[in-house]
Structure formats: structure tokens, C-alpha cells
A and B are shown apart, each in its own frame.
Chain A
Amino acid sequence: MSTSRLIHSWLLVGVASTIVGSAALSKSALAQSTANTTSFQASDPGVRGGPAGAGGPLAGLSPAEVAFFTSARGVFQEVDSVSGTIAGEDGKGLGPRFNLNSCSGCHAQPAVGGTSPAVNPQVAVATLHGARNVVPPFIKLDGPVREARFVKNPDGSPDGGVHDLFVITGRPDAPGCNIQQPNFNAALNANNVIFRIPTPIFGLGLVEGVSDLGLQNTLNQNPFLKSQLGVSGRFNRSGNDGSITRFGWKAQNKSLLIFAGEAYNVEQGVTNELFPNERETDPNCQFNGTPEDRTILSPAEPSGSPASDFSSDTVNFAAFSRLSAEPVPAPTTTSITRGSQVFQNIGCQTCHALTQTTAKSGFTGQSNKSFHPLSDFALHDMGTGLADRVSQGGANGQEFRSAPLWGVGQRIFFLHDGRTDDLLDAIRAHASAGSEANAVINNFNMLGQGSKQDLLNYLRSL
């Protein structure tokens, strides 16, 4: 081969290598490398791939506690039918009205216990086993799992309650039941319906383990940072004893057990020892003695955890949540480190507090444990843009709990109603008339595109 041809060949190899190398760069890395060009615009890198960063038990638990977690996770995946008589659907008590037939159907992304999956199971469940449901227009196959709440009653008084999407009418295990779905089209036309998506349950035992004083101390941190950003915040409180409530989109629920019991009854229609009465009162649709879910007196098959075997489903759900580990972030990079600085510099952490600490715990290895939920679990006024006009406890129609951002990197849908799957849109939606976040979002909007990208990369690493 001549010298000139050899040089030409090496040049071609060099060019080819460069092309292959560029193609191998991740989207975010490519975004980093072009961050300084004037045409570059920051964008959400999308759902972080790779193994799920959550779904296992808390570190440090005893063998018995791990066994409880494992068995409880199995119960969480149980599929319910009306009377437990359909093969593969051993759970009893579905309906008469429901949103889905299993906990893990909604709480699925990126692992059992998470949030809304990419394919909405509500579309299929609408007509499962011959049920005569019409899929409401706000439920899409590629959209988020949703529950619907009506803002007002027909007489104009406040409603705010969940109106289940589906009925058991038409199923072979619901003979004689002939109730109809709510008129969602009329509610939509009257602008009388709002939506909520599932919240992930990872790490919630740690949240439950923070004392009220601990939460208050965290909220009281950095008052001077907050005061120059328009941020305040306050807790939702139990009307019974004034203690802080912390679970749910509006921090309306006191404990994981109450949260589980309410969800079991509201979302699947299963009456339980915390919510023992059917919400639907049509006598033709009552097929089981209540509560349908209760403490087991004689477990049929031991699972390796007597605690799980004797406990009701609701107690199992709460245990699964309580013993579940917090999401693990992705390994850090230069951009992620810069993004963490951006997060703090522009003021996001004044609501999405970086660290909380548990008090003395009754569970092995969980006392005085610092963890990073990126939430103060307080209510903040989010303005007219995010308002859903529903009050819960002390939370008014514009207030929401700071959504914990741990695990956000592997979530698909954002905000309380799942209105967007783009983190950039979710950030911008924080700003509207009356929002405590306006100054922080102004700060975000003034950033260079490179800093915005770093922030997005950081969030997707969580």
C-alpha cells in the first residue's frame, strides 16, 4: 500500500471513530458537550434506564422484618375480584366501584410500590371479565393511572371525594348488580373534575419515623433563604389531635396504615378494618360480609412471616410501605454535581428539603437515620396554575405537599394529576399567580441553558 493511501486510510479510520464515539454519547452527555453553543436548549433526558433504584427492603432490618416485607410485597401484588372466585384473582372485595383491581397495577414504575406505569392498566380493567364500562376520556393507554375527584356536589357544596371510574356491572362475579359509572362527560363539561396519580411508597417508613418536632425543625431551617424567595409553607394537621399529617398529595393522611386502608376502600372498593363500610350502598351489589379484608385467624398457607400471615391485607400494605427502602440515586457525574448546586442555589431545596432524620424507631436499624427525600412534607401555595380546588384537612385548593423528589429520575408522569411527562414542563408549572415558587422559577428561567441541563440531569439521577 502506498504511503498516501495508508495516510488516507488512517484518516478515514479516525473520522469513523469520531463518528462512532459521538453516537455512543448519551443524550445528556451530548447535551453537556453542546451546552455552550447558542443553539443548545436544555431538555429532559427522559426516564433513567437501568435497574430500578427502589423496590427492596430497608437496609438493617432483622430477618423477621425482611420476611414481613417480602410477604407483604406479595400481598401488595394480589389481584382482587368481587368474591375471590376468579382464578388468579384470589383477593376478595373488588367494587362495587373501583379504579383498578390491584395495588401493584397502579404502583408499578419502576418497581412494585412505585407510581404510574407506561401502559395504563385502567384501560384493560374497564372491560375485564365482561364488565360494562366505558373508558373515560381522561384515561389513555399511554397516559397516567388516574383517580377522579369531583370539585362540587350537584347542589354546589364542596365535594372533593373520589368518584371511581369503573363498576362491577356485567362481571360474572357480580350477578344482579346494575349500577352505572358516574357521568364523567358531564363533569368534564362542567369543569368539575380533577385528577390525582399514584404516589410511590418507597421509603415511606422513614418518613413516618420522623417526629413532628423533626419535621418542624426542618421546616424552620433557612428562614432567611426562604424569606428572600417568597417561600413559607405550613403543615397539614389532624383535626383530632393537631399532630402533623404527612402522606398524600396534600399531606392529608396521618399514617401509612390509614393511607393503605383508605386507598384499599376508595381505589378498589375493598372494605377493611379501618374503612369497614361500602361506599356504594346499592343492595344488589353487596356480595360479601364486611369488612371484606380483616385479620386472618387461621392462615391457609404460611409464607415464612407469621406477622404477614395473620395480618389483614391493609396491615400488609402498610408494612410493605413502612419497610421499603428509599430510592437509590444514580452514580454522580460532573453535570449531576453541578446540577445539585443549581438546585440549591436557585432555591428548590427551600421546599424540597434535602435531608430529614428519623427519631428513635421500633424497627431494627432505623433510629436516628438521616435520609434524603427532597421534601419538607409541608403544604405550599402553588398558585392558580396547579390549583385543583379541593380542600383536604387544612390544605386549601391551591396548596400541595412538597412532592418528595427521591426516585423522580425513574418516574414517567409528574405533578398531582400526571399532566406532563416532561420534567422541564413540570418545573415551569410551579409558577403561576399566587405561587410560593415564583421567585425560584424566575431564578431557573434566568439560568443559562447549561445550568438548566445540569439541573435536569441531577433530577433524573435521583
Chain B
Amino acid sequence: MRRFSLSVLAGLLTVSAWHQISAIEPVPRPDDGTVANEIYTNRYFHLSFPLPSGWTQGMAGPGPSDFGYYVLATLIPAGELTGTILVAAQDVFFAAPALGDATETAHELVRSLSRVDGMTIDRPPSEVRIGDRIFSRVDFSGVGLFRSTFFTHIRCHLVSFNLTTSSPERLAALVLGLNNLGDAREGAAGRSDPVCIRNRAGAENVVMKIDPAAIGPTFTPIPVRLMIGADGAVKHVHVIRATVEQRDSIERALGQWKFRPHEMDGRVAEIETGLLIQFTSGGVTYSAGDRR
């Protein structure tokens, strides 16, 4: 009996410890990439990019926007400013207007650029392979600046590498350097990413919810990404942009939500989805996040 009790106790402690470890293991966020040893690494997007020789990290960009746009990194030469590389990501769940695939986005960019007086499209949208990823590439120039933008989709984000230089030769060199873009996945044992799905956080899929305490400023949309386990429990709440008090309130409440498990190919799956929260004078409103 005593041996049985000890076994049960050991089991309970193990489960508790696993939850503790899971709870404290940091979940990568889109904007927590770093530059170290001349390599830009982003665990969320699994990016590993060696900086061009003599380059360094430039001034930090702004924080995430309230429609899920991130400036991930700005890279510049250490000396004279002859070029820049801006790495950005747009969460497709919250983009306004809604985003298509990388190719459609590249064509939209060309349409926008064509309306800019003095801008020239040097290379229309084309698909290029870098490592195991397919990018859409557009080259354009004007007023003595030469630019190239590469779009791709990763985890329901439109990720872009935006290269700008003061000469076409320098641009060509930067483009060549982009071929060194690698995968920062943590070895063969690294976990696979949750499946990203639009509109999965709607009321029809919610089994149990607790409203966060409404905290001002009101009427400002708060984008939230949820990681939902195969059992329907919320595993991680990522409040993309909010005040500290709003973030605390939302994390505490949404961390207790439960959803109907998502089935794919006959099996339940861990997923990632978006939710837009707005605190109003009347309380809390939710929308599924997709701004289509």
C-alpha cells in the first residue's frame, strides 16, 4: 500500500514537473529574433541568416502593430551607410486589407510601386528558391536607390526581406548573400510547429471561456495569437500589442479557455489561430481575427 502510494505520488510529481517545465519553457515569438556572432536567428520562423561581411544590427524598429506587423530586424553596414536589409513579418490573421499568397503580394507591391512617381520596376515578380523555401522576388529602383524585396509565407505570416542599396552592384551582392539563408530549426528532435488556421477562435468552437477584465484604452483592437493543444486547451497566449495591464488581463483569462479539438485527417492536432479583442465601454468584444 505504502509502495503504491509512493508510486502515485511520484507520478503526480512527474506530471506536475512536466507542466512546470512546459509552463516555464519560453515559447518563441515572431519578434524575438537576435543577432549574435554575425548571424540573425529567429526561432519562431526558423530563420538563420549570416550577415554580410562587415554588417551589424541597425537601430531597433518599432514594436508590433495592432494589426500584427513586425519589424524583425534592421541590418546595416558597420561603416558608411551603403545599404540596408529590413526583415519584416505580417501576421496574415490580422492584415488589413487581407493578404494573398506571396506571389499575389508581390504583384500588389508592383501595383503600388507603379503609382509612385519616378519608380521603376527593374524585375517583375518571379519565384526564386532559397534553401527549401520559395520566395517571390521584386526588384525596383528610383532616385538613386536600388531595391529588392523577397516574400515568403511562414507560420501564417508573410515574411519579407527588403534589401536597399545605393548601387545595383551592391544590390546584386546582397541578393547573392541571401542564398546563405538557412533553417534555424533545433535539430532533428525539434518539435514541429502547430498548424496555423484562420478563424478557429470563433464562438462556435469555444467550449469554455472567461472574459478578461476590460481595461482601457478602449476601442483599440488587440490582436492575440492562441496556441491550442490537441486536447482543446490553450497552451500559449501571445498578446501581440496591448498595454501591460491589458496583456496581463488577457493572458490570465484566455489561458483558461477551452476549444473543441481541431481534427485534421482524422486526428486531433495542435493549432495556432488568431483572435481580435476590443475593450469597449460596454465590456469585451471578440472577432475571429481574420480581417477579410
On A, residues with C-beta under 8 Å from B are 220, 222-225, 227-230, 232-234, 237-242, 338, 340-342, 344-346, 380-381, 383, 393-394, 431-436, 438-439, 442-443, 445-448, 451
List residues of chain B with CB within 8 A of the CB of A227: 69, 88, 90, 158, 160
Known: A239-B216, A394-B219, A446-B81. 5 other contacts (CB 8 A): A223-B97, A224-B105, A338-B118, A445-B81, A446-B166
- In the docked arrangement, what's the CA distance between A324 and B169, Å? 51
A129 to chain B, nearest CB (A): 43
Chain A contacts for B116, CB-based, 8 A:
225, 344-345
Which of B66, B143, B149, B164 counts the most A-chain CB atoms under 10 A from its CB? Answer: B143
Residues of chain A contacted by B199 (CB below 8 angstroms): none
CB atoms of B58 and A442 under 8 A apart: yes
| Contact present for B86 and A383 (CB under 8 Å) | no
Residue of A nearest to B84 (CB): A442
B249 interface contact, C-beta 8 A: no
| Contact of B95 with A by CB under 8 A | yes
Taking the closest CB of chain B, its distance from the CB of A339, in whole angstroms, is 10
Check A232/B145 contact, CB under 8 A, given A222-B112, A225-B113: no
- B164:A443 contact, CB within 8 angstroms: yes
Q: Chain A's nearest CB lies how many Å from the CB of B272? A: 21
Closest to B218 in A: A239
Which of B59, B83, B88, B142 counts the most chain A CB atoms within 10 A? B59
B108 and A234 form a contact (CB under 8 A):
no
Q: Which of A242, A341, A442 contacts B143 (CB 8 A)?
A: A341
- Measured CA separation A223–B74 after assembly (Å): 19
State which residues 87-114 of B face A: CB under 8 Å: 88, 90, 95-97, 105, 108-109, 112-113
* Chain A minimum-CB-distance residue to B217: A394
Task: Answer whether A220 and B218 are a contact pair too, CB < 8 Å, given A345-B116, A438-B59, A439-B74.
Answer: no
Once A225-B109, A242-B219, A439-B84 are accepted as A-B contacts, the answer to whether A346 and B65 lie under 8 Å apart by CB is no
* Selected A-B contacts with CB under 8 Å, 23 pairs: A223-B96, A223-B97, A227-B158, A230-B61, A230-B74, A239-B218, A338-B118, A340-B117, A341-B117, A341-B142, A342-B118, A342-B143, A344-B117, A344-B118, A345-B142, A345-B143, A345-B145, A346-B145, A432-B59, A436-B61, A436-B62, A446-B81, A446-B165
Report A-chain residues with C-beta under 8 Å of the C-beta of B69. 227, 232
Contact status B65-A224, CB under 8 Å: no
What is the CA–CA distance of A233 and B113 in the complex, to the nearest angstrom? 20
| B221 to A: closest C-beta gap in Å | 8
- Shortest CB distance B173–A (Å): 15
- Assembled-state Cα–Cα distance A443/B96 (Å): 25
Q: Is B40 an interface residue (CB 8 A)?
A: no
Bound-state CA distance A367–B149 (Å) is: 40
Roughly how many angstroms separate A288 CA and B219 CA in the complex, as a whole number?
A: 39
> Given the complex of chains A and B, what is the CA–CA distance between A100 and B181 in angstroms?
60
Interface centre among B81, B166, B219 (most CB of A within 10 A): B219
Q: Is the CB of B109 within 8 A of A224?
A: yes
CA distance A254 to B283 in the complex (A): 23
Rounded to whole angstroms, the CA-CA distance of A229 and B65 in the bound complex is 13
Chain B residue with Cβ nearest A340: B117
| CB of B266 within 8 Å of the partner chain | no
Q: Quick check: B220 and A234 within 8 Å, CB to CB?
A: yes
- Name the B residues within 8 Å of A241 (CB-CB): 219
Contact call A394/B220, Cβ cutoff below 8 A = yes
Contact indicator B164/A446 (Cβ below 8 Å): yes
Q: Are B143 and A434 in contact (CB under 8 A)?
A: no
Contacting A at CB under 8 A, from B114-155, are 116-119, 142-145, 147, 149
| Inter-subunit contact A431/B59 (CB<8 Å) | yes
Please judge, given known A-B contacts A230-B88, A240-B281, A442-B76, whether A225 and B65 are in contact too, CB under 8 Å: no
Instruction: Give Cα A58 to B164, complex, Å.
Output: 42
CB distance from B82 to the nearest CB of A (A): 7
Does the CB pair B112–A225 fall under 8 Å? Answer: yes
Q: Which residue of A lies closest to B116 (CB)?
A: A344
* A447–B219 CA distance with the chains assembled, in angstroms: 40
The residue from A225, A238, A381 contacting B62, defined by CB atoms under 8 A apart: A381
How far apart sit A338 and B218, CA to CA, in the bound complex (Å)?
Answer: 43
Are A435 and B142 within 8 A (Cβ)?
A: no
Interface assignment of B168: CB less than 8 Å from any CB of chain A: no
Q: CA separation between A344 and B58, bound complex, in Å? A: 23
Cβ B118 vs Cβ A345 within 8 A: yes
8 Å CB contact of B219 from A228, A233, A238, A380:
A238
- A438 CA to B58 CA, complexed, in Å: 9
Least distance between A244 CB and chain B CB atoms (Å): 10
Query: Once the chains bind, are A433 and B219 in contact (CB under 8 Å)?
Result: no
B45 adjacent to chain A (CB < 8 Å): no
A243 to B: closest C-beta gap in Å: 8
B71 at interface, CB cutoff 8 A: yes
Give Cα A227–Cα B147 distance, bound, in whole angstroms: 14
CB-contacts of B181-228 with A (<8 A): 216-220
Whole-angstrom distance from the CB of A343 to the nearest CB of chain B? Answer: 9
- With an 8 A cutoff between CB atoms, is B60 at the interface? yes
On whether the beta carbons of B62 and A383 are closer than 8 Å, the reply is yes
Q: Give the chain A neighbours of B117 by CB distance below 8 A.
A: 340-341, 344-345
- The list of the 4 closest CB pairs from A to B, nearest first, reads A242-B219, A232-B65, A341-B118, A224-B109
